[in-house]
Structure 1
Amino acid sequence: FKGDSDPDVADQWLSEMEKIFNFLGSSKERKLAYAVYMLGGEAEYWWRGTRQMLESRDVLVDWDCFRRAFLEKYFSDSVRYAKEVEFMRLHQGSLFVSEYAMRFEHLARFYSQAISEAWRCRKFAEGLRHELKRVIVPMSIVEFPALVEKAKTVERLEGGGSSGKAARVQEGSSGSRRGGQQRGPYDRPIQFHRGAVSRGPRPATPQGGAQAVRCYRCGGPHIVRDFPSTKPRCFRCSKFGHLAKDCPVGASQSRGAQRVERPTATGRVFALTGAEASTSPDLVKGKGRATGTEVFILFDSGATHSFISVDCVGRLGLSVSALHVDLSVSTPASVSVVTSEVCVGCPIEVFGRRFRVNLIVLPMVDIDIILGMD
Structure 2
Amino acid sequence: MTDKGNDEAVPRVTEQMREVIAEEVGKAIENSLSGFIDKIQTTVLSVVDERIKKLEDSASSAKEKLVERKGCSYKEFMACKPPLYNGEVDPIVCQRWLSDIEGVFERTHCDANDFVAYGTGQLRGQAKDWWDNKKKEIGSEEAKAMTWDEFKVPFLKHHSPKAVINRIKEEFIQLRQKGESIDKITGTFLDKLRFCDELVTTEEQKVYYYYNMLSAEYREFMTPSKYETLTEIINAAREREIELKKQIERGERRTQVVNPSPTKKARVSDSSKKQEGKNSTPSCKVCGKGHKGECRFKDKPCPICGKTGHTAVLCPGKVSVCYKCYQPGHKKSECPELSGKKEDKGAHTEAPKAKARSFQLTAVEAKTEPDVVSGKESGTSSGHAGGDIRGKGVL
Provide the TM-score with structure 2 as the length reference: 0.39
Asked which structure has the greater CA Rg, the reply is: 2
* Bigger proportion of residues as helix: 2
Where is the strand percentage greater, Structure 1 or Structure 2?
1
